Every structure is written in C-alpha cells, then in structure tokens.
Structure 1
Amino acid sequence: MRMQVPFPQFWFYLLLAVFPVVKPQVTSHKPTLCDPTVQQYSGYITVPSGSSVSYYFYWFYESRNDPANDPLTVWLNGGPGCSSMLGLWNEVGPCRTDGSTATYNERGSWNKVSNILFIDQPTNTGFSYAGQDQYSTTGSGAPFYQAIQRFLKYYPKYQKNPFRLFGESYAGHYVPYFAYYIFYQNKNLPSGNVPVNLVSIGIGNGITDYLQQIQYMEPMACNSSYGSVLSAADCKKMRDNTPTCLSMISKCRSTGANADCVSATSWCMTNVQMIYKNSKRSIYDIRTSSDPPENYVTYLNKPEVQKAIGATPMTFQACSSGVNSRFSQTGDFSRNFAPSVAYLLNNGVKALIYAGDADYYCNWMSNLAWTDQLNYPLSNNYSSRPLLPWNVDGKEVGQFKQGGNLTFVRIYAAGHDSAYFQPEVSLSMFNTTIHDLAF
C-alpha cells in the first residue's frame, strides 16, 4: 500500500524538495556570560567536510581595550578531540565557573588586550558536530581555513586586525600546520576569499616534534627541578628504551606510512612515555596526583546555557575519544610539524613557544629542545642565545630566550594548562608579545 500524504503536507514536502532548507554559513547569538561589558558572538560556522558539511562551534569575545585595533587571537585546544571551551573556561578566556555560576576571569583573561575567538574543531569535538570524520592534522587544515574565512566575511570589521593563532598541547600540531595553510592560501588567494592578516603563532606546552621531545621524558621524570618521581629502575628502563623509540619514529618519518607511524606512537607511549604512570603523579603536573577541576563541563551542560550560546542541545564532553581514536589510526601523533614553524619564521611570522615547567607530558625541556633544533636561515640568532631570567613586577617568574622571530618562555610553577596555574604571568607574557617587546 502506498503512503498517503495529507494534502497540506504534500505541498510542504514538494516545496522542501524544490527549495531545501540550507543552514546559514554562520549563525550568530549574542550571549552576555562572564563578560557583559563587551560584545560577544557565538554559534556555528558551516564548513565543507568531504561530501557533506560540518558545524564548527565558535565563541567570540571582543577586547576590553581597543577592539577595532587589537589583535584577533584564535585559540585551539588539543587532544586531538578536546574542546576549546577548556581554554575559554579554565585558561585564557574570560570565564570561570564553579559549575553553577559564571564569573569574569579578572586575573588573566586575554580579552583584556585582544579580541579572542574559541573554535571547537575538528568535527565532533565539543559542541561541533556532523560532517565527515577527520583523521589527521593535515586533513583538518582546509575545514579550519574555511571556518576562519566565513567568520571574517560574516564579521568583516575584524578582517584588518592582526591575526594570531594560539593553542595548547596537541595544538602543537594544529597551530603550525593551520598557520602554514593560511599563509599559503594568502599567497595564492582563492577567488572570493579574504586575506588573513597572520602575524604570529603561539603554542603552550605543545607536542610538535615527537622525535626530539620523546628524548626529554626521562629527564623530566627523573631529573627535573621538582626532583625524581620514578624509581631508578624505571628511569633506566626509559633511557634504555628510548633508542628503539627514536628508530621507530625515524622510520615513520622516512616512509610516511600510517602503519609505521602507528607502530612508533604505540611502542614509544608504552615503553617510554607512559612508564611515568608508575609515579602515580598527574602527567600534566608532576607536583601532584590530581588535575584541575572541569566545572565548566557541568555548567555547559545546563540547557539554559546551551540555549544562550546557540549550541545545539547535546551532552557536552570536554574531549571526544572517537576523534582521538581516528587520529590514532593514521599515526598522526608521531608526525613532525616543526618544519611548518621554521617556514613561518623564515617568512616573517613570529612564534611564541611557552611551557609551564611542572608539566610532564609536553614538558618545557622538550619544547626548548625542538626549538633549538629548528633549521631556518635565522635560527642561529635564536639557538645560540642562553636562557635568561624573566621578571614580572620585579619577581622572577620564569626564563626566556628570543631571536630570529622566535621566543621561548619557561613559566615557573605551572602545569600543562599554564594559564590556569599562573594567570597573571600568562597574561603578561601574551601582552608583551602582542607589543613585540623584549622580555
């Protein structure tokens, strides 16, 4: 028996077939959470995703200082598969919460000196959804670029602002490649696109060059300024296993084969990096066994909050295991994005690499090491310089070195999410590099 469609519905479905409902490229809500003194926008950016589309969630705050001229900073968290709401609510953004109410991050919000845009990517991270799954950093570059293009076209008053791409942890992969992709598109600007005024990148406690960085897991666990947290036997095992690990990562980079990169990542994680778990300490803070609270997850699961920010109703999760698993299938973790940083530096884009010095997982020693190994024409202006004390308000709060468009900062007494532990210091660092001042 054929389905009978009532007459009014027949015309509705006929019109829908002829004129399908297409979501706008950008939806815009104007929440007033955390900082009602500035203009906010939030919602979704529709981006191409294979044969379909993805909906990338964004939340933007204008600068409290001079929004017409201050930089437009884009912030990305890592994972892969972790929402940039972590950065907004626990780190560099205007928000803090106990899970019930939202307050302004008076001690360290970067919107005091910059416009700041938080984006959940790749697809199915945080509030973002739908579309074709992504399996690699390079595969995520084009959709991210489209998201930036559509944001700038929808909000054209920010097109001329200096553009700064910052992120943390696995964004040590994202930021270099996405910035490189933006730079390349600027040089070969597709018809209808707007140039992105890219001036600098920033990576906090990032994983960028695994081959260099894995060599500093044992020194951080066994010989940091916080003392050893492992037994002598575990330290020896890490040292003994590191050469095999390096050989496997080198093979991954030589062949480029997914299978080789998956094997390298798995073996190195098990036999070098995660021996650290025997310490019973947090991988993100060698000083403790606990991690910062995620009260923002509770808050963002409130229906009234999701409605206020224009988020599609869902169970919000800080990180997606599915996205992480898909990236693991291509061995993306072991792939090297330091050359993208070198390329950007050589073309006048400045870079800030910073790290809280209590983080084990993406520790400061390893980040200093890969930056010292960068190969680009101005590299000797950086690598030959020593670490110097960094002072804020007359107090030594870390160390730094600077040269050849590159700055490295070690932040004392801070874990993986350095701005959570040292908000004023983090803001001072960010503000200093905005104005291109020497430390």
Structure 2
Amino acid sequence: MRWILAVGAVLVASTIAGPASPRTVNINKRYVEEQNGINYNVFEHASTSSKMSFVKNSGICETTSGVNQYSGYITVGEDMNMWFWFFEARNNPQEAPLVAYFDGGPGTASEYALFTQHGPCHFVNNETTPSLNPYSFNDYANMLYVDQPIGAGFSYGNTTAVNSTKTAAPYVWILLQAFYDNFPEYENRDFGLWTESYGGHYGPEFVKYILDQNTAISRGDLQGQEICVVALGINNGWFDAKIQEKADIDYAYDNPYRQIINESFHAELLSRYDTNCTPALDQCAATDTSEDCFAAWNSYMQEIEYPILAAMKETATTVYPGDIREPTTRPPSTYVAYLQRPDIQKALGAKVNYTDSLGAGDFIRDGDDPRSFMSELSTIVQAGIPVVSYAGDADYVCNWLGTLRVADEIQWPGQKRFANQTLEPYTLDGMQKGTFKSLDNLIFMRIFEAGHNVPFYQPEVSLQIFEQTMKTGGVIPT
C-alpha cells in the first residue's frame, strides 16, 4: 500500500561486534522466558546485540497439519522491537526457499498482505474468523512476514529512529542476521524479498543493502551471514516520482476502464508537471535534503494528485484509487478486529495492540516519497538477480503504465533491447491473465482485472508468478 497524501543512515558497523579478541568471546544464549502468562523462546544474538522472543505453533492462521509457524519479536536496536511472523512451506519446507515480505505504506503492517492477499489464511465473505488460503505463497516457500518500521502492526518501541527507506535498511539486515543464526537450517537457502507499492522504495534499497553487506562479509570487513538473494518481487511499486507522476496524468486520461480526466485537463496537468513539478523534483535529486524533497512531494500533490482525486469523485459513485473500476473492489479489513482480540494476541505472543498502519507522516516530512530508487534497482538488475515488477491494470496509485516506464528506464546492458520489446500474452492454464516481457533477469508484467494489491484480485496467477520467479527460470505462460 502506498499513501497518497536525510536523517543519517544507521551505521551497522557500530552495532555489529568485530572479531573476538583473545579475551572476549561472543556467545549466543537460548532460554525460555515467561511474560504475562506467555512462554517465549528467547535467543540472544551476540554479534548484532539483538534478541528474539517468540512463540511456536500458535494455531493462528496456518492450520495445515505439520506446518510449523513462529511469531514474536526481534529487538533490532535500542527499544526497537520488530514483529515477525514466520510460516513454514506447506510443501518440502526442508528445501524450499526463504522469502521475506515487507508491506508498503510507508508504515503498513505486513498482516495487511498476509490476511488479504497471499498469507496462509484469509477472510471469506466477511466472516469473523479466517480460513485456509489455497493460494498462499507458503504453499511453495518458507514465508517471513515483517512489520516495519517500528509502530506498524505489532512492532513497538522507538518510532523515531526510522523515518526513511535508507534508515530502515540496516535494521532489516539485523533482523535477517538474527533469524538466520536462530534458525540455521535456512542459512544457505535461496532468499527472495517481496513487497508492494511503497516497496518500490523498500525492495531496491533493502536488497542493495544486503548485497553491500555480503560484499563486506566476503572481504572480511564484517562478521555475518551472507544472504543468497535470488529474486526481488514488487507488486505495483512506487519507484520514481518523476517517471510515475507523469504516468499518473496519462493513465487518468487513457486507461482500460474509464476516463478520469478529459483531453484539455490532461494537457493542463502535463503543463503543471513540466512547469512546477519537474524543477522541484530535480532540486530534490540534486540536494537530497528533507526540505527540498518535501517541497517536491508537496508540488506534485497539489498540482497533480489532489486534482485527479477530485476528478475521480466527480466521475464515480465510490472512489478508491487502488481500483478505478465500477463497482470498485478493495481488500476487506476484517482481519484488523481479529488481530485486536486479546486472545489472538496472547496466542501469537504479541505485546501491544495491533495497529494496521503507522501512517506516512515521518517519511513524508523527511521527503522520502519523491526520492528515486532507480539507481538501486539498476544495481540489482546489473548484478543478475531476477527482478519481477508486476502491476494490476485497474490501479491508479502505482499504475501499470508508470511501472512499465520505470522498467524500461532501468540502467543495465539490456536496457534498449528490453525497452523495445512488445508485451506478450501471459496465460494461466491457457487463459490469458495479462501481458509481459522479459529479458535475461528482468521481467515486467501487466495483470488484467486487478487493482493495487494483485494477489487479492488474481490470487492464482499471483502464486504462479511467485513460484516461477523464485525458481529463477523466468516467467512462462502455462
């Protein structure tokens, strides 16, 4: 989810212990600790000074026989308790890859995707308790859902340390390091990072940070576990405001479902973009200051986004930018009340009430929204890591036209050939579900009849895309 409305990076080196001297030995500790009637398995991770506290097999959500789950916290910094919820793969968990999922927002809890899109359970027909989801991503992979930044979902503590994408990345790496050392059976598995919406910021930055840490570890400059990244998946991502704001204007004028603005207003908005937004975005890119980047965000909100949203209200009975069709459809919020039940929280080991969204305020004030992550995305593609950007074509927020233009602008040796490719049909069991193009390790997909959160609208094809990408053989129509 992306909301429509530079603090210095954390130095991981300051939190990671160096090689042990002859007089110093870093020792991990494991024990069971009782708190408020809940028995937590505790793992103190010496090298990152972090601490995991979790419960095993709560019986919540994943009820498939023999499939283990773990839920709880990893303390990644001073008073920074990041919530995780891990589900084993339903099939062959001993060899299945590990995938970490981060929702967008910024500040949206990953339970949003877990319960409405690709988690082991979902709510059907407004029921008050969930049932098994046959198209869960853990049907194929071991899934690690994470609530970040602190304050989202069940995460709690210091909410001021992370106010941008770049300040979030080191804490994500610490979480993964502690997870690997507590569950060493996953250390050498293929690893994928999947995300959506504002994840167009998160995904490229988090994976780029992991790759940089891998390099430091291999050089001997850093102690830690190298992470074998084999895929980055992003659903309707927000990567680059300069590219995607202009695409918003074009999509509002010409899309597969309904015209939101007329020709004259389209021309007027393009003029506003060129005259007011482009200089502000260029200034943000040049200085990277919070002041200039906040001004850039304010510019395109005032000049483009608010007028288009107003036009939506004039041309539709209900307005949801994530699905411009009429009648509009959006993921249900039934899971929120479920997760706020004291008995559910106790079973999971949650220590605070559930907050579905922290809100984007700190990120907006820091100017994070208009910052481009094209450079990070390009680095990942250049490294040969499979990247799939897939988008529901009924979404305005991070629409398929903008994400296609982003994919075409990625800097890598195959750029011109990729940009010149035409989109071909993508099928599921012979039925066309969208179009796609791919070259080497870069894939772009447009999914028909889907809004902002593609796995909610098209769960079966989303699982197929997920499996094919994680197998690193490329997406193949079936």
Return the letter of the residue paired with 1:75: Y
User: What residue in structure 2 maps to residue 5 of structure 1?
Assistant: none
1:44 aligns with 2:80: no
Q: Which residue of 2 aligns with 1:211?
A: 242
Gaps in structure 1 of 5+ consecutive residues: 1-21
Give the secondary-structure state (helix, strand or coil) at the position aligned to 1:91.
Answer: helix
| 163-172 vs 283-292, which moves further | 283-292
Of residues 286, 296, 300 in structure 2, which corresponds to 1:268? Answer: 300
Q: In the superposition, relative to structure 1, how do residues 99 and 143 fare at CA in structure 2: closer, same or farther (>3 Å)?
A: farther
SS for the counterpart of 2:446 is: strand
Name the amino acid aligned to 2:362. R
Measure, in 2, the Cα distance between the counterparts of 1:109 and 1:438. Answer: 18
Residues 394/358 of structure 1: CA separation in 2 closer, same or farther (3 Å cut): same
User: What secondary structure sits across from 1:196 in the alignment?
Assistant: coil
Q: 2:231 aligns with which of 187, 191, 200?
A: 200
Residue 281 of structure 2 is aligned to residue 254 of structure 1: no
Q: Is the 8 A contact 2:258 2:324 kept in 1?
A: no
> Given residue 344 of structure 2, which amino acid in structure 1 is its aligned partner?
V
Among 335, 341, 351, the alignment partner of 2:387 is 351
1:119 to 146, 150, 167: 146
**Structure 2 letter corresponding to 1:102:** P
Identity of aligned residues (%): 33
Map residues 391-406 of structure 1 onto 2, 5 A cutoff.
Answer: 391-406=427-442
- Structure 1 distance, partners of 2:43, 2:99, is 26
Post-superposition shift, 1:208? 0.6
Alignment partners' CA distance in 1, 2:475 and 2:158: 44
Which residue is equivalent to 1:19? none
SS of alignment partner, residue 53 of structure 2 = coil
**Deviation string, structure 1 residues 255-305 (Cα, Å, up to 9, x no partner):** 212111101111101211232212123111111456322111111001111
Q: CA RMSD in A?
A: 1.6
1:229 and 2:265 are equivalent in the alignment: no
Deviations 1:345-369 (A, max 9, x none): 1112110101000000100000000
Aligned counterpart, 1:302: 341
For residue 424 of structure 2, what is the aligned residue in structure 1?
A: 388
**Structure 1 residue 125: Cα displacement:** 1.2
Where 1:181 maps in the other structure, the secondary structure is helix
Q: 2: distance between equivalents of 1:382 and 1:236?
A: 29
How does 1:31-180 map onto structure 2 within 5 Å? 31-37=58-64, 38-48=67-77, 52-97=78-123, 98=126, 100-106=128-134, 108-131=135-158, 133=160, 134-180=162-208
Contact 1:99 1:299 in 2 (8 A): no
Deviates more, 1:27-36 or 1:278-287: 27-36
**1:232-247 map, 5 Å:** 232=263, 234-243=265-274, 244-247=276-279
Q: Distance in 1 between matches of 2:271 and 2:433?
A: 35
Residue in 2 that maps onto 1:13 = none
Equivalents in 2 of 1:129, 1:275: separation in Å?
A: 36
- Does residue 284 (structure 1) correspond to residue 322 (structure 2)? The answer is yes
- Please state how far the C-alpha of 1:191 moved relative to its aligned partner: 4.2
How far apart, CA to CA, are the structure 1 residues paired with 2:434 and 2:263? Answer: 29
Residue 374 of structure 1 deviates from its aligned partner by 1.1
SS in 2 for 1:116: strand
Asked if structure 1 preserves the Cα contact closer than 8 Å seen for 2:231 and 2:469, the reply is no
- The alpha carbon displacement at 1:381 in A equals 4.0
User: Does the residue aligned with 1:245 lie in a helix, a strand or coil?
Assistant: helix
Mark the CA change 1:23 to 1:193 in structure 2 (over 3 Å): closer, same or farther.
closer
CA drift at 1:185: 0.2
Deviations along 1:371-410, one digit per CA (max 9) or x if unpaired, are 1011122323422321111111111100001013100111
- Name the aligned partner's letter for residue 124 of structure 1: G
- Assess if the C-alpha contact under 8 Å between 2:465 and 2:475 holds in 1: no
Name 1:340's counterpart in structure 2.
Answer: 376
Report how far residue 41 of structure 1 moved.
0.6
> Which of 446, 449, 452 is the aligned partner of 1:410?
446
1:20-35 alignment, distance < 5 Å: 24=44, 25-30=51-56, 31-35=58-62
CA contact (8 A) 2:387 2:441 kept: yes
Q: Is the 8 A contact 2:441 2:474 kept in 1?
A: no
- The letter for the 1-side match of 2:231 is S
CA–CA separation in structure 2 for the residues paired with 1:437 and 1:367: 19
The answer as to 2:414 corresponding to 1:378 is yes
| Amino acid across the alignment from 1:251 | Q
Separation in 2 of the partners of 1:272 and 1:32? 47
Contact 1:99 1:296 (8 Å CA) reproduced:
no
Q: Report if aligned partners of 1:238, 1:271 keep a CA contact under 8 Å in 2.
A: yes
CA gap 1:381/1:161 in 2 versus in 1, 3 angstroms: farther
3-state SS of 2:175 partner: helix
Is the counterpart of residue 182 in structure 1 residue 210 in structure 2?
A: yes
On the 8 A contact 2:386/2:469 being kept in 1, the answer is no
Task: Give the CA deviation at 1:132.
Answer: 5.0
Distance 1:330 1:387 in 2: 37
Where 2:71 maps in the other structure, the secondary structure is strand
Give, in angstroms, the shift of residue 412 of structure 1.
Answer: 0.4
Q: Given residue 335 of structure 2, which amino acid in structure 1 is its aligned partner?
A: Y
SS of the counterpart of 1:292? coil
- The structure-2 alpha-carbon separation of the partners of 1:395 and 1:80, relative to structure 1 and needing over 3 Å to count, comes to same
Of residues 283-292 and 257-266 in structure 1, the stretch that sits farther from structure 2 once superposed is: 283-292
Contact residue 84 and residue 119 of structure 1 kept, 8 A:
yes
Q: Secondary structure at the match of 2:192?
A: strand
Question: How many aligned residue pairs are there?
Answer: 411
